[in-house]
Copies of this chain bind each other. A is one copy, B any other.
Amino acid sequence: MARPKVNLLSTDRIADAALDLVDSGEPFGVNALARRLSVTPSSLYNHVDGRDAIVELMRRRMVERDLDLVAPQPWEALVPAVLRAQRRMYARHPQLIPLIVDKTITDPLVIEQYDILATALVEGGFPAGDVIAIIGVLDAFAIGFGLDLASPADVWRPDIETRTFGRLLEGAETGDERSDHVFEIGVDMLLESLHARLARTGIRDA
């Protein structure tokens, strides 16, 4: 064969196939990806700089396909909207999260969302020096809950005698129901604390 008239590969095709692979639940790898593309592993290196670059490609593809962009608006509505949009995105690719979790965020679309967030918080009256930290908290939250989506149905399994925990767990929800409920409570808590913080430290009439 060698070089065909029309290319078999492109970064987009690679990114899509890689996402498919990860979403299918099989372990991600260059070889498995090549199989899925009916191509030799070495072919991939004509388009991409190796395994890590493919992971980065997947992240970008996920963001551009599955992150609902949130328009500028007052922070009270914006904050939950951004958190829910991120969670919807992560929920579509839970298996990807552990792969991308320790890499720097440079994706323009994500940065833009954080910029809109930063602007809304400043305009809402939060002290400029706190805004980056607040976004950090929201980000840690989003990632923590993203991982929650990737984790097993029974997050905790007490093997020992407990006073309260085991008893409460028995009546509690599991799986998606639990995960959604916890997330919504988390959002409520965040919003409530932002209101309280603004009342304490906010700038009047921003």
Contacts and interface: CB of A to CB of B under 8 A. Distances in A.
12 contacts: A102-B150, A104-B154, A106-B156, A106-B157, A106-B158, A128-B168, A131-B168, A133-B182, A136-B155, A140-B148, A141-B144, A142-B144
Interface in A139-195: 139-145, 147-148, 150-152, 154-160, 162-166, 168-169, 171-172, 178, 181-182, 185-186, 188-190, 192-194
Contact of A114 (B130, B140, B143, B156): B156
Contacts of A119: 163-165
The A interface, classified by DSSP as helix, strand, loop or mixed, is helix
Contacts of A166: 115
Interface string A71-86: 0000000000000000
A111 B164 contact: no
Interface residues of A, number: 66
A203 interface: no
Closest 7 CB pairs of A and B: A144-B144, A140-B144, A136-B182, A189-B193, A115-B165, A193-B193, A115-B162
